[in-house]
Amino acid sequence: MTGKISAELRERAAGIRLLVLDVDGVLTDGRLHYDAEGREFKSFHVRDGYGIRQVMAAGITVAVISGRASRSTAGRMAELGVRHVLLGRDDKAVAFDELLGALALPASCAACIGDDEPDLPVMRRVALPIAVADCHPSVSTVAAWHTTLPGGAGAVREVCDLLLASRSQG
């Protein structure tokens, strides 16, 4: 995480108990890769994975909500120990409601990292909506904070570092 964060942002971040991530464009660079047999593969940044593990170790629940079903994503999230993985969910608001119900948490203790319009219904409801640096302009206007790095290049780690630093300074 680079730069100074405001007291208001630090306060919002300190209360986060649930971090919701999009996949394509947030955990990845947004490009879709297929081999000659039509099998999809994705690239995930190792620093994002480390950050996810760090915030989970600090007691923050991490969840993934994606409109696309992907074995690559399911495998990577299993490797990281992310238990709440909702894939192939076109209506992210419904998936978010299900997640909040399962965790017995209010939206007011959640953060969401998004990059494009399908993420907006969740971003508009959370305490801390965050956009990756290369997000669509519609997402930029909703975000309370923007990463300096683009999706798939360490943006999630920036957010994890923000959440952890805010807790230690809170």
Is the Cβ–Cβ distance between 75 and 30 less than 8 Å? Answer: no
% residues pLDDT > 90 (the chain)? 87
Give yes or no for residue 123 having a pLDDT over 90. Answer: yes
Alpha carbon of residue 17 to chain centroid: 13
CA-closest candidate to residue 122, choices 142, 148, 151: 142
Closest CA to 44 of 61, 28, 67, 25: 28
- Write down the domain spans for the chain: 7-63+73-153+161-169
The answer to whether the predicted template modeling score (pTM) of the entire model surpasses 0.85 is: yes
Confidence of residue 168 (pLDDT cuts 50, 70, 90): confident
pLDDT in tens, 48-107: 999 999 999 999 999 999 999 999 999 999 999 999 999 999 999 999 999 999 999 999
Query: Regarding the domain delimited by 7-63+73-153+161-169, which CATH topology (the fold level of the hierarchy) does it fall under?
Result: Rossmann fold (3.40.50)
Distance separating alpha carbons of residues 53 and 60, to the nearest angstrom: 10
